[in-house]
Amino acid sequence: MESKIPVAILGATGTVGQKFVLLLQNHPWFEIGELAASPRSANKTYKDACAWKQDKPIPSLLRDKLLLEAGAKLSSRILFSGMDSSVAGPIEEDYASRGHIVISNSKNHRMDSDVPIIIPEVNPDHFEITKKQRFMGAIITNSNCAIMPVAMVLAPLHRAFKVKWVQLSSMQAISGAGYPGVPSYDILGNIVPFIEGEESKVETESQKILGRLNGDVIEPADFIVSAQCNRVPLIDGHTINLSMKFERKPSPRQVRDILGAWKSLPQKKKLPTAPSSPIIVFEEENRPQPARDIRLENGMAACVGRIRECPIGHIKMVVLGHNTIRGAAGAAILNAEAYISLGYFQLKPSEQVKTRAPG
């Protein structure tokens, strides 16, 4: 039997926690060792505590697994956090202080000066700043789900032409609000032009992600982002209308060629969760579309279409990303894979677990 790294999921019963459970099934490197959730779910079986909302059944090996309370002692050193931001901050810090590597989907620590927001295709060098953290372990975050595909698109274009400003308007699916999400009376047949706290996150996180690591500091990129964020009646998939201006004006064809050919560290290292093509470029005028395209590359790619000249800036386009996979659980798993592949984490032989036969 092959040895795997035991991992724990914090917030295992929530929307992102469920997606972690689904995506980690049969993972070649990781095996779920522990599940943790809120005090009201602790000591219940996973099937009894979890309002399961995924398109596949709960994995049989986890159905009767007892939930621990988030904050309890865990043996797994790598923890995937899908906890709600109202409770995540101090719990994640406590686990990092005890020596755990916390890969977080929560917003609490993203803008901390010594915590990186990692997209492995974009800024894997930012992992280095985790060595400066005050913890025995580390906290690593992935970005807001709306900025994730945008930052993936901006990265190669910023390097080629240097971004001056970005204007974006998002159409964000209700799964981004977690379960039970947005009340049906508010969202059915409607668009809600406000998501609390969303625009400020979108406007600041991309500069940190595309910033430069200078010693102990991540110096943010100097372009400006203006964001308008809307909730739309769609289950999964965030669509973003994006306009950009650069220091050196590219043609739409140059942009298509650069985005379509772009590959980076996860592809070169062939990490298990990495998409073979991190950006999929469509030539059709009516693509990408959430109903048709969000599951391409197992939901881990940024889908881009309608690349054309912008009369105010230089280029405009439509960007689509799977918000609960590439924008949440899948991003965190890929972060863990990249962190390990770059040599930041070593597991002792005594900590490995043997793979079990699927049930």
Enzyme catalytic residues: 145, 238
CA distance 296 to 303: 8
CA distance 243 to 153: 12
User: C-alpha distances in angstroms, 334 versus 55, 272, 305, 324, 357?
Assistant: 22, 8, 25, 13, 24
Q: Are 92 and 139 in contact (CB under 8 A)?
A: yes
Give the count of alpha carbons within 13 A of 132, CB side only.
15
CA distance 59 to 72: 23
CA distance 156 to 351: 39
The secondary structure of 218-264 as a DSSP string is: EEPP--EEEEEEEE-S-SS-EEEEEEEEESSPPPHHHHHHHHHH---
Q: CB atoms < 10 A from the CB of 122, how many?
A: 24
| 124: nearest Cα among 351, 274, 350, 335 | 335
Helix (H) or strand (E) holding 165: strand 163-172
